[in-house]
Amino acid sequence: MPRSLTSAVAKFAEAAPVFAALGDDTRLQILARLCSDGPLSIVQLADTAAVSRQAVTKHLHALEQAGLARSSRVGRERIWELQTKRLAEAQRYLDQISQDWDAALARLKAFVEKRED
């Protein structure tokens, strides 16, 4: 495999945990809440969730492992906040895939148009 392709595959593989974490509806809703409402406690997040507080905790830990959220202790509560760096990296990966597809479609169009002549 060419070096540039190996590098691209490695970069896309780094983004896989982010997309896996975002693939769950509950985690996506939790992230949306953290994005719109700012740092929140587990109690606040569980108030509007369709799952138990324990389930919210498990989802938050999955988001943390993916680099999408982090927590800090404030008194007896654990406050969770969105981490935008990994989302920005995932956006760059999606932009690269989009550019690659655009280039591939342009090559296909040129090939088809050449064949029609």
Say how far apart CA 52 and CA 1 lie, in whole Å.
47
79: CATH: 1.10.10.10
Q: pLDDT tens digits, residue range 5-17?
A: 576 677 777 788 8
Give per-residue pLDDT as tens, 49-105.
Answer: 888 999 999 999 999 999 999 999 999 999 999 999 988 888 888 898 899 899 999
Whether residue 1 has pLDDT greater than 60: no
Domain total in the chain = 1
Q: From CA 47, how far away is CA 31, in angstroms rounded?
A: 14
Residues in the chain: 117
- What helix, strand, coil percent values describe the chain, rounded to 5? 75, 10, 15
Domain ranges, residue 106: 3-116
Region 28-56: mean pLDDT is: 91
Q: What pTM does this model have?
A: 0.74
Cβ atoms of residues 84 and 70 within 8 Å: no
